[in-house]
Structure 1
């Protein structure tokens, strides 16, 4: 399981680097074409918007895996060690439930809703369902990460 998680994390990092480079190029071209060429590009605004959606979703999965997400630990810092482990287990179970119920199941419904009848973006002529497909994919990734974190928390609890 750890090997699969490491591969997903590596690929996610490379995807995020690529998406960040893409959004920088798109926004730079938009500014250049608007102010220097006096002829704004019609596709770069939409491309930047869609790229930002993907960066946000995949970035959230990466942040969850690397424990970089914002967290408030004011209450849990006052817990005993065993209570902290229980709270951590509960946290990962809630994340798993949210990822599966909202992101995977709800995301598949959202993609299906925008694919039939096909909704296309105005400038790029991409089916919106392909853009929204990042939601269930991210949900699956977060689910895998949370199952791994639950397994690790369980093994730590078992050893103690």
Structure 2
């Protein structure tokens, strides 16, 4: 594994574990507050949890790409020769790369328009900040797909 792959995996895992731990603690606190009379439940926890899971998904997508953890229909893949499999793999990675670039470009155009709108529970936080994970995640996915294509072509 290259230094880049290890660094992005470590960073994405660290962020995901941190966010998931915070969500777990906040949800447990909210459940406790819901069934006691100590205080009212925290209304912003649900929205924070939703945003945290969005960030986790986009940041870990490229790790799943690298490790081949996405589901795939391999009906055709099994029936091809080794050379045919490589061609099919290059094709599927290329299509995923094109999709990543399209979403990346669309998100870069979309995010500035959302900087004027606040989230429901966090009036100080523009929605654009939440959406910044989309281009960040798709940059990582595009780089990972390029790496996968180059490793297939080299083998």
- Fold equivalence (TM over 0.5): yes
What residue ranges of structure 1 are gaps of 5+ in the alignment? none
Query: Partners in 2 of 1:59 and 1:35 — Cα distance?
Result: 34
TM-score (norm 1): 0.89
Query: Partners in 2 of 1:65 and 1:10 — Cα distance?
Result: 13
Give the equivalent residue in structure 2 for 1:150: 149
Give the equivalent residue in structure 2 for 1:63: 64
1:134-149 matched pairs, under 5 angstroms:
134-149=133-148
- Size of the aligned set, in residue pairs, is 153
Give the equivalent residue in structure 1 for 2:20: 20
> Cα RMSD over matched residues?
1.5
| Deviation per residue, 1:81-112 (Å, 9 max, x gap) | 1000001111111111111111x111112211
Deviation at 1:78, TM superposition (A): 0.5
Give the equivalent residue in structure 2 for 1:120: 118
Do the aligned residues in 2 keep the contact of 1:23 with 1:51 (CA within 8 Å)?
yes
1:1-160 matched pairs, under 5 angstroms:
2-37=2-37, 39-102=40-103, 104-115=104-115, 118-125=116-123, 126-156=125-155
**Structure 1 runs of 4+ off > 3 angstroms?**
none
Query: Partners in 2 of 1:59 and 1:4 — Cα distance?
Result: 15
Instruction: Report the more deviating stretch, 31-40 or 142-151.
Output: 31-40
What residue ranges of structure 2 are gaps of 5+ in the alignment? none
Query: Partners in 2 of 1:27 and 1:65 — Cα distance?
Result: 31
TM-score (norm 2): 0.91
Do the aligned residues in 2 keep the contact of 1:29 with 1:44 (CA within 8 Å)?
no
Query: Partners in 2 of 1:58 and 1:75 — Cα distance?
Result: 30
Do the aligned residues in 2 keep the contact of 1:96 with 1:147 (CA within 8 Å)?
yes
Secondary structure in 2 aligned to 1:41? coil
